[in-house]
Chain A
Amino acid sequence: NAGVTQTPKFQVLKTGQSMTLQCAQDMNHNSMYWYRQDPGMGLRLIYYSASEGTTDKGEVPNGYNVSRLNKREFSLRLESAAPSQTSVYFCASSYGVIYEQYFGPGTRLTVT
């Protein structure tokens, strides 16, 4: 099993550009999550999907949108990138919202 995979691994954007981060899991998990990691701030939840067909805002949703494409895939979209969105983005999945989460390798995004 590959676990949780993310693409791309690295990305540089100019302010105002858009992009979509892709995430897929092969563990038949119901719940999926997007986090951002910034130095000294731990991980902060952007959006999550408790089950296929549902999405909810996390702690820092502004500037992002998500799509739960199917049970396996959960994408994160930046419509108009800003330098404040420079961060490392992690996708995670879990069997259900109260269970341990498994993380992908991350996407390092720089917005100039």
Chain B
Amino acid sequence: AQSVSQHNHHVILSEAASLELGCNYSYGGTVNLFWYVQYPGQHLQLLLKYFSGDPLVKGIKGFEAEFIKSKFSFNLRKPSVQWSDTAEYFCAVIAPGNTGKLIFGQGTTLQVKP
């Protein structure tokens, strides 16, 4: 079955630590890739997206992600996290051949300790 996997379910970091959240997908062919963030009690917001071109994409709030086609991966990174980055992070994939359905990973809860 086509799926999106996020390796880490719960990550705890101290402020200023570097962050990398893993995301792998199982679709072949062309895909559109997204990372969304959900702050406590809020709705999902788009962090960044990849459609084509430079595989290193930059998003809001200092986040970036790298698309590695050979590894079917789209990992999210941030060099130095802040307490305000505490949230749940979702990787999501649209496989256009899949009638455009956005498939989400299970989510990773990030807790940043001050």
B99 contacts A56, C-beta separation under 8 Å: yes
The contact size tier of chain B is 20 to 34
**Nearest A-chain residue to B106, judged by Cβ:** A42
**Nearest B-chain residue to A96, judged by Cβ:** B100
B43 contacts A104, C-beta separation under 8 Å: yes
Q: Which residues of A contact B32 (CB under 8 A)?
A: 98-99
B101 contacts A45, C-beta separation under 8 Å: yes
A43 contacts B101, C-beta separation under 8 Å: no
Q: Which residues of B contact A92 (CB under 8 A)?
A: 44
Determine the distance from Cα of A92 to Cα of B42 in the docked complex, in whole angstroms.
14
B104 contacts A42, C-beta separation under 8 Å: yes
Residues of chain B at the chain A interface (Cβ within 8 Å): 9, 32, 34, 36, 42-46, 49, 90, 94, 96, 99-107
Residues of chain A at the chain B interface (Cβ within 8 Å): 31, 33, 40-45, 48, 50, 56, 58-59, 90, 92, 96-106
